[in-house]
Chain A
């Protein structure tokens, strides 16, 4: 098998491209500009907090043109552009746009995979829309998004024979791009595409490739499998070979591995006692989401980022499955107390792992698990009817405005929750 892989020589995939990657440009900021026309054409940044230390999570196209990037602090953005308008995220707005985009895209094919809140992959192979041609369909999708969702929203669409090349094509001309990568133009595209522009190739991988005398995307494309395997020191080299030759390798669905929540602390808190209310709220949020999706967990993980840049984390596996937020909290608090540091915390995260489906089914002998299940179900039902955190543990008192609703950028698993909440 190993030898067969090393000697494999693939031609570039000759089939007509059927994969389409749709990427909503400057997603959160564009949606804010769509909602508030007074922000259109102005540099806008969506930031987790509008305070100077707040992190910019989405600059508008106008802000990006001035050099404002994702991850920049609000104060640094304001230094570049004193007129920068900073707005808070509004997750429900973004979820609504996501669902409307999904509805439009599903009218062309059943094979629509949301990759994140602002990215979708479609496979039109075998669907009537494919016979109309990929480019006319892409142009129609752009037009429908403008008409049916919002005239300020622009999407970049990439078309390719596999997911990777469709995404690469979508990134060629932003915003509002429409590009195809296929057998005819692949060499000319690779000639102009820097290695670092490839999704999944960053500094470390570039160093690995340079070690094998691979300096450009074209070098990477022409490199034999053995060389790529040597560069990546694993099967990953073969995957890159297949990917760059237009064959599908990324059509994989990973099972949900964990439910977690994190919080960037604006206050200076150090000790587990001080952090406990926030930990409780994080556990409550993660636990509610986990139960809503019908899971329970065997492990709890706590991660702490300190203001001095240090990072400490620890996971713990428990003997019995946990689903009640109070039990998850007990484990999480025990883990937090194990941290050797008593310095100011910048970010606190908690997650539940080793998940198992079929919550509320397994009866345990000699325990009051049944009672507990019914209680948790009742509490969840009350919160579902009257709104999250209507009933909360006393430990969370005074935390109403903290750990607010946030939306994850890249985590596709969160979209399960969107679907559930929308139904």
Chain B
């Protein structure tokens, strides 16, 4: 089931200065914590002049599409899926 939404979400992001990479490591959604096991894809987009970073991440149970607004420094979740048909 794929669920589309736009909702604020808590995300822990780690920056590694040696590899110069960032990755979300933990997501807290509806009072439950999910450890990110894999980043499927990371891309960027612009709405007007605002740059957004989009992380498509997987936890053991769920997939999250996380969007980081570089203006407001806030995170939203735009998609949650469990990999099953709709």
Q: Which of B24-51 contact A (CB under 8 A)?
A: 38, 40-41, 43-50
Set B54, B85, B86: member contacting A92, Cβ < 8 A: B54
Which of A110-118, A163-171, A247-255, A380-388 touches B? A380-388
CB contacts (< 8 Å) of A150 on chain B: these are 40-41
Q: Give the most central of B40, B45, B47, B83: most A CB within 10 Å.
A: B40
B83–A93 CB distance below 8 A: no
Name which residue of chain A comes closest to B55, CB basis.
Answer: A35
CB contacts (< 8 Å) of A88 on chain B: these are 4
CB contacts (< 8 Å) of A82 on chain B: these are 85
CB contacts (< 8 Å) of A86 on chain B: these are 85-86
- Annotate B39-80 by CB proximity to A: 1 below 8 A, 0 otherwise: 011011111111000101010000101000000000000000
Q: Which of B1-26 contact A (CB under 8 A)?
A: 2, 4
- Report the interface size for chain B: residues with CB under 8 A from the other chain: 24
Q: Is A344 an interface residue (CB 8 A)?
A: no
Q: How far is the CB of B86 from chain A (nearest CB, A)?
A: 6
Q: Is A377 an interface residue (CB 8 A)?
A: no
Inter-chain CA distance A103–B30, complex, in Å, is 40
B43–A384 CB distance below 8 A: no
- Annotate A385-398 by CB proximity to B: 1 below 8 A, 0 otherwise: 11110100000000
CB contacts (< 8 Å) of A37 on chain B: these are 38, 40, 58, 63
A385 in contact with B41 given A38-B82, A50-B86, A85-B85 (CB within 8 Å): no
Inter-chain CA distance A39–B48, complex, in Å, is 31
Q: How far is the CB of B60 from chain A (nearest CB, A)?
A: 10
Name which residue of chain A comes closest to B61, CB basis.
Answer: A38
Q: Which of A30-63 contact B (CB under 8 A)?
A: 31, 34-39, 42, 50
Inter-chain CA distance A96–B54, complex, in Å, is 11
Q: Is A83 an interface residue (CB 8 A)?
A: yes
Q: Is A421 an interface residue (CB 8 A)?
A: yes
A38–B83 CB distance below 8 A: yes
Set A34, A92, A387: member contacting B50, Cβ < 8 A: A387
- B interface secondary structure, majority: strand
Inter-chain CA distance A272–B73, complex, in Å, is 44
Inter-chain CA distance A172–B82, complex, in Å, is 35
B49–A36 CB distance below 8 A: no
A36 in contact with B48 given A42-B83, A85-B86, A87-B2 (CB within 8 Å): no
Q: How far is the CB of B17 from chain A (nearest CB, A)?
A: 21
CB contacts (< 8 Å) of A50 on chain B: these are 86
Q: Give the most central of B47, B63, B83: most A CB within 10 Å.
A: B83
CB contacts (< 8 Å) of B86 on chain A: these are 50, 85-86
Name which residue of chain B comes closest to A42, CB basis.
Answer: B83
Inter-chain CA distance A150–B86, complex, in Å, is 25
Q: How far is the CB of A383 from chain B (nearest CB, A)?
A: 7
Q: Is A84 an interface residue (CB 8 A)?
A: yes
CB contacts (< 8 Å) of A387 on chain B: these are 47-48, 50
Inter-chain CA distance A35–B43, complex, in Å, is 10
Name which residue of chain A comes closest to B58, CB basis.
Answer: A37
Set B40, B48, B50: member contacting A35, Cβ < 8 A: B40
Q: Which of A266-296 contact B (CB under 8 A)?
A: none
Q: Which of A82-109 contact B (CB under 8 A)?
A: 82-88, 92-93, 96-97
Q: Give the most central of A34, A37, A421: most B CB within 10 Å.
A: A37
CB contacts (< 8 Å) of B84 on chain A: these are 85
Name which residue of chain B comes closest to A151, CB basis.
Answer: B40
CB contacts (< 8 Å) of B58 on chain A: these are 36-38
Inter-chain CA distance A409–B48, complex, in Å, is 24
CB contacts (< 8 Å) of B50 on chain A: these are 387
Set A36, A93, A97: member contacting B81, Cβ < 8 A: A36
Name which residue of chain A comes closest to B50, CB basis.
Answer: A387
Name which residue of chain B comes closest to A386, CB basis.
Answer: B48
Inter-chain CA distance A388–B50, complex, in Å, is 12
CB contacts (< 8 Å) of B43 on chain A: these are 92-93, 96-97
Inter-chain CA distance A85–B41, complex, in Å, is 19
CB contacts (< 8 Å) of B4 on chain A: these are 88
The interface of chain B, by Cβ under 8 A from chain A, is 2, 4, 38, 40-41, 43-50, 54, 56, 58, 63, 65, 81-86
Query: What are 7 A-B contacts with C-beta separation under 8 Å?
Result: A31-B41, A35-B40, A36-B63, A85-B84, A86-B86, A88-B4, A150-B41
Q: Please provide the 7 A-B residue pairs with the shortest distance between their CB atoms, ordered closest to farther.
A: A38-B83, A35-B56, A96-B43, A387-B48, A35-B41, A92-B45, A387-B47
Name 19 extra pairs, CB < 8 A, besides A50-B86, A93-B41.
A34-B40, A34-B41, A35-B65, A36-B83, A38-B58, A38-B82, A39-B83, A83-B85, A85-B84, A87-B2, A92-B44, A93-B54, A96-B43, A384-B48, A384-B49, A386-B49, A388-B47, A388-B48, A421-B46
